[in-house]
Structure formats: C-alpha cells, structure tokens
C-alpha cells in the first residue's frame, strides 16, 4: 500500500508578544541573555558585505535562519565555525560562508584582547533557485537578497531554540489571549521518498515556522528529524503552504505555529 502524508496544524498555545528589535553587535538588543557580571567585555561584530552580491535573478525569496558557534580570535577573525542549528542545510552552508567572512572587535580582559567562543544567530533573506546537476537531478541554490541580521550570544548558550530566538528578534505572537491562529487555505500533500516507501516507514514529522501577516510561511524548522529524506520532503511541502494570517484586534499579525505531518502505511 502507498505511503501517504496528512498535514495537521498543531498550534503553540503560549501567548505572548515579543517586541521586534534590530540585533546590535554590542548585544544590547540580542535575543540571548547578557553575560554574567565580571565576564570579559564582549566582542562586537563588524559586518561584512563580501557575500551580498546577487548571483542571479531572484524568482523566489525565503527567510532563513541559522545559529553557529565560533571562536573569535584575539585579532577579531572568526575561527572553527560550526553550524549548531539551521532552517535547512543550504541555510547552514550559506550562514557558514557569511560568518567566515565576518570580522570582530575582540573581547578584552584587563585591557588585553582575548579569544572567546560564542554563538551567533543569523537571519537571512535569501533568493532561491533550482540548478541542474550532472546526474540529471536538480538541486536548490540560495544566496542573499539583502544584508543578513546577526546577533552575538554573549553567554555562548546553545539552549535557546533557534525559532524562539528568531521570534524574540523579529517580533511574533503565539496563539491565545486574543491571538487567532492562521488558517491554511492551501496545504499540499508531502510526497514521500522512494526509500521511505520501500521501508514502509511510519512516523510523525513536526515543523515549526512563523506565518507572517500576509499568510506566507517563514523559516520552517524541523522539530524532530525523520529518516529517508522525509525532513526535506516536509520542508519543501510546508514552503508551498498558504494561510489566512492570524489576527489580533482584526489586524493580521505574524504568528508562530507547529505543523504535524503523519507518514503512515495504509
């Protein structure tokens, strides 16, 4: 029997509005906690435009997020850059390229530059295109449509979820307390991979994302990963969803939700 996927909306219910803030390199408005008293003064980001050059016509735009860890050396260079979390693999690769080109004013202790390890949240407005590969298949290519927003986590914490960090940074509501949920008006079925069908795999994939005030999905992020390439299948389907946006006082607002996709054998 064929393997099918039925999407179900599971809305987060904790109600709160977090004001939108512009991330700043001194972390004054960072979505992450401040360093404890007595810690060395924090490094500051010197943004780079190295990777902002358009690589082609932008047919589709998508909001991507990523969080990376890195060593900020005494001379302000980024070293040992690693992806901690990202909205998808291509976003992580793009974020890594950006951060490797970043420069910082280093942290200081007693007036002396010191090396520190920190994590960095990136918000990227990306252009998306499909390219043909040598074996006949297509692959997705993304590049920056505008300068990324970056915020240093001064505490080096990895516990804050990437989506919660984005919510705090850009401003979004959770369902409840006068906030109505987005209503799907187009939710195409995910097409399972041949590997999943052969294995008769059954499981639930949960994807968190923000539905903006225009009803468009932003920054879909897998909550629990599944095998056989089903994460990518689910993300691709969710990006095609369209919604009537969530409302507050009869005004459309961005809302964070979680979508559940159930893969099962009939």
Residue 130's pLDDT is: 74
Residue 161's pLDDT is: 60
Residue, of 166 and 97, whose pLDDT is higher: 97
Cα separation values, 230 from 51, 141, 159, 206, 215, Å:
30, 19, 25, 11, 24
Which CATH number is associated with domain 44-156? 3.30.1150
Contact 33, 157 (CB under 8 A): yes
Residue 3's pLDDT is: 44
Express each pLDDT in 80-113 by its tens digit: 999 887 777 788 888 999 999 899 999 988 889 9
Query: Is residue 17 packed enough to be buried (19+ CB in 10 Å), middle (13-18) or exposed (0-12)?
Result: middle
Every domain of the chain and the residues it spans: 3-15+173-265, 44-156
Strands 255-265 and 173-174, sheet pairing: parallel
Task: Give the count of beta carbons closer than 10 Å to the beta carbon of residue 111.
Answer: 6
pTM of the model: 0.56
184-187: which pairs have CB atoms within 8 A and are 24 or more residues apart? 184/7, 184/9, 184/241, 184/242, 184/243, 185/215, 185/242, 185/243, 185/244, 186/240, 186/241, 186/242, 187/7, 187/237, 187/241
Model confidence band, residue 210 (pLDDT cutoffs 50, 70, 90): confident
Contact 88, 218 (CB under 8 A): no
Calculate what percentage of the chain has a pLDDT beyond 90: 20
Q: Which residues contact 194 (CB under 8 A, 6 or more apart)?
A: none
- CATH topology classification for 3-15+173-265: TolA/TonB C-terminal domain (3.30.2420)
Contact 105, 113 (CB under 8 A): no
Residue 15's pLDDT is: 27
Model confidence band, residue 65 (pLDDT cutoffs 50, 70, 90): confident
Any idea which residue has 């897998």 for tokens?
222
Express each pLDDT in 8-62 by its tens digit: 444 332 222 222 333 333 334 433 334 444 445 789 998 665 556 566 677 777 7
Residue 122 pLDDT greater than 90, yes or no: no
d(CA 194, CA 28): 49
d(CA 232, CA 139): 12
Question: In this structure, is the dihedral angle defined by the CA atoms of residues 67, 73, 76 and 78, taken in order, positive or negative?
Answer: negative
């Amino acid at each position: 029997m064929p393997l099918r996927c039925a999407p179900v909306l599971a809305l987060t219910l904790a109600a709160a509005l977090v004001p939108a803030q512009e991330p700043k390199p001194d972390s004054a408005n960072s979505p992450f906690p401040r360093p404890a008293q007595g810690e060395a003064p924090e490094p500051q980001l010197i943004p780079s435009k190295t990777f902002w050059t358009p690589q082609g016509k932008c047919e589709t735009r998508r909001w991507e997020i990523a969080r990376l860890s890195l060593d900020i050396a005494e001379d302000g260079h980024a070293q040992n850059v690693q992806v901690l979390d990202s909205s998808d693999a291509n976003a992580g690769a793009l974020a890594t390229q950006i951060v490797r080109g970043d420069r910082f004013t280093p942290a200081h202790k007693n007036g002396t530059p010191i090396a520190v390890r920190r994590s960095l949240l990136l918000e990227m407005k990306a252009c998306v295109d499909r390219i043909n590969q040598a074996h006949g298949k297509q692959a997705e290519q993304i590049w920056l449509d505008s300068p990324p927003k970056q915020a240093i986590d001064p505490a080096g914490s990895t516990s804050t979820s990437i989506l919660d960090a984005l919510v705090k940074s850009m401003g979004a509501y959770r369902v409840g307390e006068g906030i109505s949920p987005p209503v799907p008006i187009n939710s195409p079925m995910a097409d399972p991979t041949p590997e999943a069908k052969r294995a008769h795999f059954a499981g639930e994939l949960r994807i968190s994302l923000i539905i903006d005030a225009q009803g468009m999905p932003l920054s879909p992020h897998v909550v629990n990963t599944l095998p056989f390439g089903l994460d990518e299948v689910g993300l691709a389907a969710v990006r095609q969803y369209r919604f009537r946006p969530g409302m507050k006082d009869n005004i459309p607002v961005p809302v964070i939700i979680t979508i559940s996709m159930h893969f099962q054998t009939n």
